[in-house]
Amino acid sequence: MLDANALKEEISYSYAQILATRCGFSIGRPHRDNDSVDCFITYNGKLSNLSVNSSPQINIQLKSTASPQWANNSIKYQIRKKNYDDLIARSFVSKIFVLFVMPEIKTMCCRYLNISKINGIAYWVHLCGMAPLPIGQESKLIDIPKKNKFTQKALYTMMDNISNDRGVDYGL
């Protein structure tokens, strides 16, 4: 049986998998998570006839919480320095941070993963280009805008942006 953290990790991955599948994308996991990448989403070929690039890909760091810290129009979430450093670094493949907001494990049941009920309960942020942490600081409290819901439409737009040489968050 999975412990609570492993269960949250699997549910977060399942949510990303549902969105990717509904968009017609593939999803996978790296053999090792050395680069703060829990999963990657890809599309084989050109996303549209107008696409500049073929085979777009996005890398995702997945986290989950049952008790989000809402502040104004964002969620505050503490991430470790290693993850923050990996996510702010420029990379050939865009990386986003996705926070899945879920109920407490003890109140959750298998029917919870009905996509019609969970659409819009994960939030994303693109941290590339943010300032590095000062020496000695071991974590960072990041802001994830409440408007940045990780939905089927948002994921498709990100992949379209990538396939057209636009920033991953262009127009979102």
Indicate whether 116 belongs to any domain.
yes
Phi, psi torsion values for 51, nearest 5 degrees: -60, 140
Is 136 part of any domain?
Answer: yes
> Which alpha helices (DSSP H) does 28-140 contain, by range?
81-88, 115-118
Please tell me the predicted confidence (pLDDT) of residue 119. 44
Containing structural domain, residue 17: 4-163
Q: How far apart are CA 169 and CA 160, in angstroms?
A: 10
Write down the pTM of the prediction. Answer: 0.89
Check which CATH number belongs to the domain holding 39 and give it.
3.40.1350.10
Domain total for the chain? 1
139 pLDDT above the threshold of 90: yes
| Model confidence pLDDT, tens digit, residues 11-38 | 889 999 999 999 999 999 998 878 899 9
Residue 171 resides in a domain: no
**Chain centre distance of CA 104:** 20
When pLDDT is cut at 50, 70 and 90, the band that residue 130 belongs to is: very high
Residue 73 has pLDDT above 90, yes or no: yes
Rounded Cα–Cα distance for residues 19 and 156 (Å): 9
Q: Is residue 169 part of a domain?
A: no
